[in-house]
Structure 1
Amino acid sequence: MAEEQNWEETNNHTPCANNCGFFGSPTTLNLCSKCYKDHCVKEQHMSTAKIAVEKSFSQPQHQIESSSSPSSSSLATALAPVSTDSVVAVKSQPRNRCGSCKRRVGLTGFTCRCGTTFCGTHRYPEQHACTFDFKTMGKEAIAKANPVVKGVKLEKI
């Protein structure tokens, strides 16, 4: 029956190039649809970052040519978009993993006063080498709760 309709079975079932378990196609660079979408988004971010870097390097040079002493605020505004994007990318860290053993904690994670999330095993400060100074905090709390009471000195007769 396939011969009558000139139908050929395509053998384009190649695994995704990222080894995610799905099948890719030659039109999507042998990537599955999700990996191809991620690839396109990554390329778009790279191109915008490249343009921002080129802009930050070229803008101060033009200002130096046009004026003999560029203002520091104009240099700061030219470099600001690049530096804030890189800082945000560096500081973003998944909060659903233990800070010591990197085990997934989900909703049962414990946030320590040092600002890190830990599993049930590492939730105590002794278990994860906490950097928070509990001793000083305790002394300050006691001093604030119990002010020093001094009587007025008596005048000598």
Structure 2
Amino acid sequence: MESQSNNNNNNNGTLLDDTKSHHDQPLADVLKRFTKDFAATIDDISTNNNNETKKRCKKCNKKVGLIGFECRCGDLFCGKHRYPEVHECEFNFKDIGRNILAKQNPLCIRDKLDERL
């Protein structure tokens, strides 16, 4: 019994020590922690709002639901405006295609020195 009461006293003593150290923290540290948590919740709220606004066509502002088409320019379009020519896309598809072809087909140049000798 005495050992249990000693353990309880020790536990209570450590709990009091923990609370003392918690209350001894400077106010600036507590405010920093609070502002970080608050900023994180604001970021979560703002990302939820971005998901809701992305469900409309960029050209006609029509709700697209589940069948929205995302273009390479990064915008979302309905079935009517999904083609780049229709929504006047500014993404440069030709440069992307040229770069892909250049990587897939390297130039093969033979040595010209053999012909001269």
**TM norm structure 2:** 0.54
1:42-57 equivalences in 2 (<5 Å): none
Runs of 4+ in 1 over 4 A off after TM superposition: none
| Residue 145 (str. 1) matches residue 104 (str. 2) | yes
Give the length in aligned residue pairs: 88
Write out per-residue CA displacement over residues 45-87 of structure 1, whole angstroms, 9 at most, x where no aligned residue: xxxxxxxxxxxxxxx9614xxxxxxxxxx78x82652452254
SS at match of 1:92: helix
Match of residue 84 from structure 1:
43
Q: Which amino acid aligns with 1:62?
A: A
**Unaligned ranges ≥5, structure 2:** 1-25
Return the alpha-carbon distance in structure 2 between the equivalents of residues 90 and 106 of structure 1. Answer: 16
- Indicate which of 85, 101, 111 corresponds to 2:70: 111
Q: Which amino acid aligns with 2:70?
A: T
Write out per-residue CA displacement over residues 96-155 of structure 1, whole angstroms, 9 at most, x where no aligned residue: 432211223344432212232212221121222323221221111121221111112425
**Unaligned ranges ≥5, structure 1:** 1-59, 64-73
CA shift in 2, pair 1:87/1:148, >3 Å:
farther
1:24-103 equivalences in 2 (<5 Å): 62-63=28-29, 78=36, 80-82=39-41, 84-103=43-62
- Indicate which of 80, 87, 98 corresponds to 1:121: 80
**TM norm structure 1:** 0.42
Return the alpha-carbon distance in structure 2 between the equivalents of residues 92 and 124 of structure 1. Answer: 22
CA shift in 2, pair 1:139/1:153, >3 Å:
same
Which structure shows the higher helix fraction?
A: 2
Return the alpha-carbon distance in structure 2 between the equivalents of residues 152 and 83 of structure 1. Answer: 64
* Percent of matched pairs sharing the same residue: 41
RMSD: 3.3
